[in-house]
Amino acid sequence: MGFARHGRRARPHRGTQYRIGSITKAIVAAAVLRLRDEGRLDLNDPLDKHVPGTSFGAGTTIAELLSHTSGLTSESPGAWWERSPGGDWNDLSASLTPGETKLRPGRQFHYSNVGYGVLGELLTRIRGAHWLDVVRAEVLEPLGMHHTTASPGEGGLPHATGYAVHPFADVLLPEPAHDAGAMAPAGQLWSSLDDLAAWTAFAGGRTHGVLAPETVAEMREAATVDDSSGAWNAGYGLGFQLIQAHGRRLAGHTGSMPGFLACSLIDPATQTGAVTFTNTTAGVSIAGLAVDLIAMADDHEPALPAEWTPSPVEPELLELTGMWHWGPKPHYLYARSEGWLRLAPADGAGRSSRFRPAGDGTWVGLDGYYAGETLTVGRVSDGTPTYLNLATFVFTRTPYDPAAPVPGGVDPEGWRRETLPT
């Protein structure tokens, strides 16, 4: 396990803390998404609506800040913030002059530590409490992350010392660990192995009520791609980094602060995750190690399928299931245990989406081609469902049912055999 400090070996089972750097960002993002789910904000809101007075807030949305597409400068103006004591929000805001918006908002992925300092202030303004208190009460405590703190050693917890390793000699230099002030939401937190394992499980959808699983799935959706290396194998969602590796799509976050590297990644499809961290500034591919660990676990310990158990399905839902046709192409409509529907082509090729009830008799697409689109059920006088209207596409029980409102109508002579010209 290596050495935590002063020649003492790390003891993860005793909760030795390491600084987790930018994994803090994903935790802050979860708290912001809680505000959205409560109706306290919209992700398309300009920052000015909630944090007025900045030079960039009128043209920058909350979603852009979460996904690093705001165009804001990467680092706060002034001294290297990661190795310097941080100022308060007024200091940070005053330093962010119009010239610190480097790119047009929404144009491309541009990692911004500053953007998450701003999101910390957003949490503080809306909740009326310090961002750290909000995160502790709403995210860390419900997940059982009791060894995750803003500074090392709180409550007598053991912690590692951050070191720089000389590139040409086997000697160490202790790194400073200042309070980052208003920039703290970008990378302040310290955590332990058990706590990061709980956070990794959260990223995979085991949320313990902190957020709905579908909201965490939304956080894992690619809002932008990172094409800085020329290959589109990485991206960013709403607080989560995304990595394509070994045929897997992984979600989580890396962390880097002077003296520390950390990584939390999970494959939501297999629920295999990995946590890696070390107390050195550089020299270790911490994300590559996590990726390899996940691949090895899945390759050598394949998951067994979950034991099947019957699930209750409402009769109104059950009557919608079965085969429906878009024109001549058959599709299956399945009932899901959580009360959702899934529509998929019978041959497996083509557009497939899940749908959640909207509460008014209609359904809303959750993913795939029909994400956000409305599914309406057409019925005859006795209530029997006869067709589905999905974003103007009409699905019928038989191909081109003449009794359904098929756009363009159905030839009155119906299906027939014609002699084709030779």
Report the residue count for the chain: 422
CA 254/CA 252 separation, integer angstroms: 7
300, 308 contact by CB (below 8 A): no
Question: Which residues sit opposite 275 in a β-bridge?
Answer: 264
pLDDT at position 301: 85
Instruction: Using the predicted structure, report yes or no on whether residue 203 has a pLDDT greater than 80.
Output: yes
Return phi, psi of residue 259, to 5°.
Answer: 95, -5
Compute the C-alpha angle 307/311/313, nearest 5°: 155
Please count the other Cβ atoms lying within 10 Å of the Cβ belonging to residue 330. 15
Q: Are 415 and 401 in contact (CB under 8 A)?
A: no
What amino acid is encoded at 253 in this protein?
Answer: H
Distance CA 212, CA 206 (A): 9
For the whole model, what pTM was predicted?
0.85
Closest CA to 143 of 185, 189, 200, 187: 200
Q: In this predicted model, what pLDDT tens digit does every residue of 383-417 receive, in sequence order?
A: 999 999 999 999 999 999 999 999 999 999 899 88
Per-residue pLDDT, averaged over 253-280, amounts to 96
Query: In this predicted structure, what is the pLDDT of residue 419?
Result: 73
Pairwise CA distance, residues 302 & 270, whole Å: 9
In CATH terms, 3-300 corresponds, of 3.40.50.300, 3.40.718.10, 3.40.710.10, 3.40.50.2000, to: 3.40.710.10
pLDDT of 284 reads: 87
Q: What are the start and end residues of each CATH 3.40.710.10 domain in the chain?
A: 3-300
Is the pLDDT reported for residue 10 higher than 70?
no
User: What is the token pair recorded at 155?
Assistant: 């409550």
Q: What is the DSSP letter of 17?
A: B
CA angle 370, 375, 381 (to 5 degrees): 160
422 pLDDT higher than 90: no
The band of 37, judged by pLDDT with boundaries at 50, 70 and 90, is very high
**What distance in Å separates the CA atoms of residue 184 and residue 120, rounded to the nearest whole number?**
8
Per DSSP, the residues of 187-226 read T--EE-HHHHHHHHHHHTT--TTSS-HHHHHHHTS-SEE-
Q: Which of 93, 100, 79, 98 is nearest to 121 (CA)?
A: 93
3-class SS at 253? strand
Residue 144's alpha-carbon distances to 139, 147, 153, 201, in angstroms, are: 9, 9, 18, 12
* Radius of gyration (C-alpha) of the chain in whole angstroms: 26
Q: Is residue 302 very low, low, confident or very high in pLDDT (cuts 50, 70, 90)? A: confident
- Collapsed DSSP state (helix, strand, coil) of residue 378: strand
Is the distance from CB of 53 to CB of 267 less than 8 angstroms? no
Distance between start and end Cα atoms, the chain: 77
Query: What proportion of the chain, given as a percentage, has pLDDT over 70?
Result: 96
Q: Which fold has domain 315-396?
A: Lipocalin (2.40.128)
CB 122 within 8 A of CB 219: no
Residue-level pLDDT at 97: 96
Contacts of 99 (CB under 8 A, 6+ apart): none
Whole-angstrom Cα distance, residue 113 to residue 74? Answer: 6
70-99 residue pLDDT tens: 999 999 999 889 999 999 999 999 999 999
CATH 2.40.128 domain span(s) along the chain: 315-396
